[in-house]
Structure 1
Amino acid sequence: MAEQLTFPLHLRSAQGREDFFISPANALAVTTLDAPETWPLGRMILIGPEGAGKTHLATIWADEQGAEILPARNLTEDMAPALVAKGAAVIERAETLGADEAGQRALFHLHNLMQAEGGRLLLTARTPPRDWGLSLPDLISRMEATATVRITPPDDALLAAVLVKLFSDRQLTVPPNLIGWLVTRMDRSLATARKLVAALDRQALAQRRAITQRLAAEVLDSLD
């Protein structure tokens, strides 16, 4: 059978609070971000592996706080006053600043100005500050003194909920028992869940097949 041509489509993932599944893996992070008034000096670092839900949770927080979200690699010193004027800011992937001295100076400036004005600063990262490779001593001391909260690797309930959400975001219908079958066989990673669902979508469309356990087994083998 000839394979059908497929074209990548922009998928808009649901990012609201109602779409965020709370489990033991992320419950402490949710509770912490829901109480920014308790953050020491109004700052917090949200740490978790790739695909753990950091961006989703940070987006919820930013929407509720009226904060701007900015990738760390895009941050410059002249942006600080506008970010502080909003009263809150989210800087994502802070660990990418390790090789960027200008970015480190920009974060240092933003940090100090936000603290002086009583604003709140949320950073997301895959690793703790000691592993970022920072070279600016003043920034190192401030980041290592900043409170952190972690999202831990997903449990079965969270992994299942994320799979359901990912299939729903792509408007894909799958057999109810497929979710539990996948959870027991895939790597315990939300990043893997995203890759798996995307691969199933591509293969089902290319081969004009329904998403079944057989197709899922083939895709899992190819990912391995």
Structure 2
Amino acid sequence: MAEQLSFDLPAKTALGREDFFVSPSNALAVAMISASSWPGNKLVLTGPAGAGKTHLAHVWAGETGGRILNAADLRYEDVPELAQGPIAIEDVPFVAADLEIQKSLFHLHNLTLAEGHTLLMTGRLAPRFWELPLPDLQSRIQGAHHVALDPPDDALLCAVLAKLFVDRQLFPKPDVISYLVKHMDRRFETAAQVVDRLDRIALTESRPITRALAIRVLNEDVA
């Protein structure tokens, strides 16, 4: 049988509150995102790749009318406009090598708070590990209230896998997710990689996503 061609069709990611599964490992972060106010009007949200930082930022933006911007896209000339409302800056540690962006973020931090608006910042590690070369910015970030998304428990990992499949319009056999939860590396990033691999194989080989295919994919990762 000839192999079916594989196409990189974009998955539609659901980012509404109803799509975010709350479990003990993320309940505190969800509560803080939904709080009516934050100490000093600023919050740092951290967690590993795929943990839900972007999802929660979108939930927060939807509830507050805030805007979301990746730190790498921040420009100094845009700061006055951005500071006119709630703003979320994602992946702040990724600009540790760009002093100009750090200066822009420092200005945005000060102006946003001066205007009485809220500032959300995200990164993978706790703020003390961001090591931003601009001392004034680093100190202000470390002074913000910090909440972390913890590694997933069984219920959350199950929900994350289910969401990743649904985002791709995939509906695996019922025993697939339970097997993955029990045997895969318990990281959000791994969950995304496994679902992507299952999707590609199922499409290429014109086969359903079954427990046997899940075993094959996990064994490939181990090999």
Residue 140 (structure 1) aligns with: 138
Contact 2:83 2:115 in 1 (8 A): yes
**Which has the larger displacement, 170-179 or 116-125?**
170-179
CA deviation after TM superposition for structure 1 residue 110, in Å? 0.3
CA deviation after TM superposition for structure 1 residue 213, in Å? 0.9
Alpha-carbon distance in structure 2 between the residues aligned to 1:167 and 1:137: 43
| TM-score, structure 2 as length reference | 0.96
Cα shift readout 1:154-202 (whole Å, capped 9, x = no counterpart)? 0000000111111111111211122111100001011111111111010
Query: Which one-letter code corresponds to 2:212 in the other structure?
Result: R
**Which has the larger displacement, 104-113 or 72-81?**
72-81
1:70-219 equivalences in 2 (<5 Å): 70-85=69-84, 87-219=85-217
| TM-score, structure 1 as length reference | 0.96
Contact 2:44 2:120 in 1 (8 A): yes
Alpha-carbon distance in structure 1 between the residues aligned to 2:103 and 2:52: 28
Cα shift readout 1:78-129 (whole Å, capped 9, x = no counterpart)? 11111111x2000000111211101110110000001111110000100122
Alpha-carbon distance in structure 1 between the residues aligned to 2:177 and 2:60: 29
Contact 2:131 2:138 in 1 (8 A): no
Q: Which runs of 4+ in 1 moved over 2 A?
A: none
CA deviation after TM superposition for structure 1 residue 36, in Å? 4.1
5+ residue gaps, structure 2, are: none
Alpha-carbon distance in structure 2 between the residues aligned to 1:99 and 1:192: 27
Aligned residues: 222
CA deviation after TM superposition for structure 1 residue 223, in Å? 2.3
Contact 2:198 2:209 in 1 (8 A): yes
Root-mean-square deviation (CA, aligned residues, Å) is: 1.0
Contact 1:36 1:120 in 2 (8 A): no
Contact 1:84 1:114 in 2 (8 A): yes
Alpha-carbon distance in structure 1 between the residues aligned to 2:69 and 2:172: 35
Residue 42 (structure 1) aligns with: 41
